[in-house]
Amino acid sequence: MKLEYLKSSQLNLLPEQPGTYIFYAAKKSPLYIGKATNLRERVKNHFQQPTYKDNLFINKVKKIGFIPLESDIEALILESQLIKKYQPKFNILFRDDKKYFYVGITNEDWPRVFITHQPCLKTYKLKNLKTDYIGPFTDGGALKQTLKILRKIFPYRTCKVLPKRPCLWYQLSRCPAPCLIEKESKIRRILKKETDVRKKGYKKDIRKFKSILKGERERLALTLEKEMKKMAKLEEFERAERIKEQIESLKRIFSHKRILTEVLQRKNRRENIGVLLKEVLGLPKTPQRIEGYDISNIKAKEMVGSMVVLKLSRICTNEYTNFCEYKYTPDKSQYRKFKIKTVKRQNDIACLKEIIKRRLFHKEWKLPDLIFVDGGKAQLNAAKEVIDSNWKERLKPSIISLAKKKNLLYNINSRNPFLLDKLPKEVKMAILHLRDESHRFAIFYHKILREKHLFSL
């Protein structure tokens, strides 16, 4: 692996493949180290769409070092090695106890593997055992996905205390089940020699597992090749076949380039609720502004309507971290209340039509991308009827409505309703927040009018 260099003005020359990159200032010491599934796209993002963190150092970058790699796993592991070796100023500055991840491996007969944020705790709490820590890793999601894949090749133990009977991980061939071995040793009097052989084999697998996480893949490949040939000579064909499968599996995962990509896609969808809402509801575009409508009255007295507005906002939890997410937040300066004027009898559909029509007269108000109405299909059709007859085709927003009884979500772009509980949690909570906020604001205005009426008697 050779470190190549480019100037910050030569971003288009970066390869479009996984790898690790290093930002340098005028001096040779690194400012920041990162990994990428697509080096060109990721490094460009630092310059073209800088975050709070990027703005602290991006103007100081004079040179970019990069190492193209074959897979995302290699990028994850090499990033960890380089951060540990060079201790870049801004990687350290942005680190906190919950930012970096380490893989802990206990030193016992059946070593336990776990993920932690605090490698400074050098003992294993239950038995005061020494623990080896490998890291730091910056991306917890990608690390968990990598361990999940490696566990298929080298099964390992994760439980703190051995259970009384083997769990599902044993059935899935993801754990050597030391609990089963200890139990059978007593009940069936399995020879101690056989148990020791199993322990020795497991410890070998753990050493191989450590080698991968430390980036010693080539050395491990040679070790496995030698071990396979040795087993074949000794006519231990089953063990030789198992080692061969491990070699083939390692080749596959180190040419597998979608691990970090899938994790990042899931993370981006989770962090950008607007994109997720668009995908789930089949909307033509990501809604930046959502308007919610509701009607409130008691037996046709003091009938009112409400309009609440949620806007898509980018929220960074900490100015020194890279973690930002998109959420729908209330824009209370845009809330509007309507006193029903034309409807004399209790008729929620007619009231809804009136307030949406009146809203359309206000050309100075910003246009919504999505309209939410509290109610079922009848309310959805009522809103559609008003919008179709009063709104220009190219400006028409999408419309959804929520029926209270069964929590069915109706969508103007879909023939059949969605069951709200079946939608992703983030979408469900956003819609419930919209419903509750429009309902709260309508009731609030209704109560004000009732109080005024009572005091005027």
pLDDT of amino acid 123: 45
**Topology, domain 284-456:** Nucleotidyltransferase; domain 5 (3.30.420)
Give the pLDDT mean for 39-62.
Answer: 86
Q: What is the pLDDT of residues 223-248, one digit of tens each?
A: 788 888 888 888 777 778 878 877 77
Q: What is the pLDDT of residues 316-361, one digit of tens each?
A: 654 433 456 788 999 999 999 998 888 888 888 999 999 999 998 8
SS3 324: strand
Distances (CA, A) of 256 to 8, 245, 259, 268, 381: 29, 16, 7, 21, 48
Residue linked to tokens 């951060």: 83
Per-residue pLDDT band for 187 (boundaries 50, 70, 90) equals very low
Q: 447 is written with which tokens? A: 């109560």
Q: Judging by DSSP bridges, how do beta strands 370-374 and 398-403 pair with one another?
A: parallel
Residue 266 CA to residue 368 CA, distance in Å, equals: 27
Percent of the chain at pLDDT exceeding 90? 18
Distances (CA, A) of 155 to 32, 53, 90, 238: 35, 38, 36, 17
Percent of the chain at pLDDT exceeding 70? 84
The CA dihedral of 235, 241, 242, 247, to the nearest 10 degrees, is 120
pLDDT of amino acid 73: 84
The CA dihedral of 143, 145, 151, 156, to the nearest 10 degrees, is 50
Q: 178 is written with which tokens? A: 């030391």
- Of 271 and 180, the one with more pLDDT: 180
Query: How far apart, in Å, do the first and last CA atoms of the chain sit?
Result: 86
pLDDT of amino acid 399: 94
Structure letter (DSSP) for residue 138: S
Phi, psi for residue 310 in degrees, rounded to 5 = -115, 135
Residue 308 CA to residue 434 CA, distance in Å, equals: 8
SS3 183: helix
**Topology, domain 4-93:** GIY-YIG endonuclease (3.40.1440)
Least confident of 86-100, 138-152, 213-227, 300-314: 86-100
Strands (E), 285-369: 289-298, 301-316, 324-330, 336-339
Asked whether 373 and 399 are in contact (CB, 8 A), the reply is yes
- Helices 192-213/178-187 angle, 10° precision: 170
Least confident of 247-256, 258-267, 278-287: 258-267
Domain boundaries, the chain: 4-93, 101-216, 284-456
- Of 434 and 219, the one with more pLDDT: 434
- Of 251 and 361, the one with more pLDDT: 361
Report the 10 Å Cβ neighbour count for 433.
Answer: 17
Asked whether 276 and 426 are in contact (CB, 8 A), the reply is yes
Give the pLDDT mean for 274-298.
Answer: 88
- Helices 259-271/72-86 angle, 10° precision: 80
Give the pLDDT mean for 197-206.
Answer: 85
SS3 233: helix
Amino acid code (one letter) for 413: N
Least confident of 84-98, 102-116, 160-174, 260-274: 260-274
pLDDT of amino acid 318: 44
Per-residue pLDDT band for 402 (boundaries 50, 70, 90) equals very high
pLDDT of amino acid 130: 82
> Which candidate, 238, 254, 261, 268, places its Cα nearest to that of 74?
254
Residue 377 CA to residue 349 CA, distance in Å, equals: 11
Per-residue pLDDT band for 128 (boundaries 50, 70, 90) equals low
Residue 457 CA to residue 440 CA, distance in Å, equals: 26
Residue linked to tokens 């070998």: 204
pLDDT of amino acid 271: 64
pLDDT of amino acid 48: 85
Give the pLDDT mean for 182-207.
Answer: 68
Checking if the pLDDT of 290 tops 50, the result is yes
Give the pLDDT mean for 198-211.
Answer: 86
Biggest alpha carbon–alpha carbon distance for the chain: 104
Q: 416 is written with which tokens? A: 């059949």
Residue 119 CA to residue 84 CA, distance in Å, equals: 13
> Which candidate, 221, 179, 433, places its Cα nearest to that of 310?
433
What pTM did the predictor assign? 0.54
pLDDT of amino acid 126: 46
Q: 107 is written with which tokens? A: 């030193």
pLDDT of amino acid 182: 53
Asked whether 119 and 104 are in contact (CB, 8 A), the reply is yes
The mean of the pLDDT values for the chain is 81
Q: 296 is written with which tokens? A: 């409130």
Highest average pLDDT, of 27-36, 38-47, 96-105, 129-138, comes from 38-47
Give the pLDDT mean for 426-452.
Answer: 87
Checking if the pLDDT of 45 tops 50, the result is yes
